[in-house]
Amino acid sequence: MKKIHLTKTIHLFLIITCLCITILHFSQIDAQAAGTTNDLEYTVNSDQSITITGYNGTATELQIPQEIDGYPVTNIGDEAFLNFKTLESIEIPNTVTTIGMGAFLGCDNLKNIVIPESVTEIGSMAFSACISLKDIRLPSGIINIEDSVFLLCSNLESIEIPDTVTEIGSMAFSSCESLKNIVIPESVTEIGMGAFYSCSSLKWIEIPDSVTKIGEYAFDSCEGLVIRCPQYSDAYYYGQRHSIAIELLYTKVRWKDFSLNIYDDHADISGFYSDTDTDIRIESTYKYLDLPILAIKRGALQDKSLTSVIIDEGIKSIESKAFADNPELKSVNIPESVTEIAEDAFLNCDNMTITCLYNSVAYEFAEKHGIKMDVYYFNKEASLSIDNILIISNGKPCETKCPDGITYDLDNNILHFNNYNNKEASLRVDSMDGLTLDIVCK
């Protein structure tokens, strides 16, 4: 009964949506001018941009121009290529920001479409019933995958959802019968009603614990589906309620003030519970299971009123918004082991100083984003040999040379650098000709 009910719902939804698109299409009145070029119909908008509104040609391959009469083409209008049967390939220029509702609805033979990174909005049903479309790459600026946008794309086999998407709309991929697997990024919080209904070839879907709402019928008629998800997540309980097989991605534990994702061979920091600790240290080993901690996950320490952070050597990545919205954050010590830092990892942390190794990933990140730095020029495992200068540490010669290309500031026989652990230290530098230099450790 449930499947019959949903089928009627889908049909009713299609009828209502198509009617709404048609009404909207005929109600659009451009205040300035309309025209045709190379069989493309267009209007000039009030901001001197162009909206493509239709096509009268018979081409199988089409490249939309970047501009018409000197005005940039910024929009593919609602129903612009509705039921255009001969079109097989289309390239959209990087001036376009919006693809309207039903823009390519019913383009039966459309196989290839290039959507540029400039596009930030794709309307509902934009590619519905494009039955020849096998794969598509969505641009990274998309926030929502709208209702029914790929409904009835029966040959769609794969799609990569960018990590900017927060919501997957109702029936977005319904009846995509060739879709084999889907990875939902951690940016997504909601999956709409019937979003993957009747995706009969869908073998597995990976759903993170960021998803806190899953609509009814979301995975109905997906026989043999396995949901890959964290233990005790909303997807985990959804699968249990609907008798869908579950494969655990990881288990979640609370350790000290942190939430950890525990995998077979490592752990990741996924959250922080304390409301009082503002000066924190992030260790690189979960000692109960002797597992290395490798990543600070998306949003793990976002908006936690932090003032200082020390990250232990061994952590490898700092993900999107991991420390975002901590305006009082003054200092962050990032070790050389960190090789990946998301562009927005420290969003709205405008008063901080990063302590890091010269030429490390953290150094390059701070330099790129104009963040203040305390820089040290060799780590605690290394020594320093520059020209004929030999560093003596605690009265013993250092045996391991630092990498070539190290730079330093030598001013009045004072060699300035930043100490690795931010504690005072003293080293004596002797040259082979007997000259003694003092190192200032800050």
Intra-chain end-to-end CA distance of the chain, in Å: 73
Residues 196/182, Cβ–Cβ less than 8 Å = yes
Which sequence spans correspond to the domains of the chain? 2-251, 253-376, 385-441
C-alpha 52/C-alpha 104 separation (Å) is: 12
Distance CA 429, CA 176 (A): 69
pLDDT digits (tens, 9 = 90+) for 252-297: 899 999 999 999 999 999 999 998 999 999 999 999 999 999 999 9
Q: Which of 123, 125, 117 is nearest to 95 (CA)?
A: 117
Token readout for 30 is: 């451009």
Residue 123 has pLDDT above 60, yes or no: yes
**Sorting pLDDT into bands at 50, 70 and 90, what band is 394?**
very low
Strand bridging mode 190-191 / 167-168? parallel
Question: How far is Cα 249 from Cα 197, in angstroms, rounded to an integer?
Answer: 23
Task: Tell whether the model's pLDDT for residue 10 goes beyond 60.
Answer: no
- Determine whether domain 2-251 maps to CATH 3.80.10.10: yes
Strand partners, 191: 168, 214
- For residue 411, the surrounding DSSP H or E stretch is strand 409-411
**pLDDT for residue 22 is more than 70:** no
C-alpha span between 397 and 384 (Å, rounded): 10
Share of the chain above pLDDT 70, in %: 78
Q: How far apart are CA 420 and CA 417, in angstroms?
A: 9
- pLDDT > 80? residue 251: yes
The reply to whether domains 2-251 and 253-376 share a CATH topology is yes
CATH classification number, 253-376, choose in 3.80.10.10, 3.60.21.70, 3.40.225.10, 3.10.520.10: 3.80.10.10
- CA 192/CA 27 separation, integer angstroms: 29
The pLDDT of residue 275 is: 84
pLDDT tens column, 39-87:
999 999 999 999 999 999 999 999 999 999 999 999 999 999 999 999 9
What is the residue-wise DSSP string for 136-174? EE--TT--EE-TTTTTT-TT--EEEPPTT--EE-TTTTT
pLDDT above 90 covers what percent of the chain? Answer: 74
Helices (H), 220-259: 234-241
Helix (H, G, I), strand (E, B) or coil at 128: coil
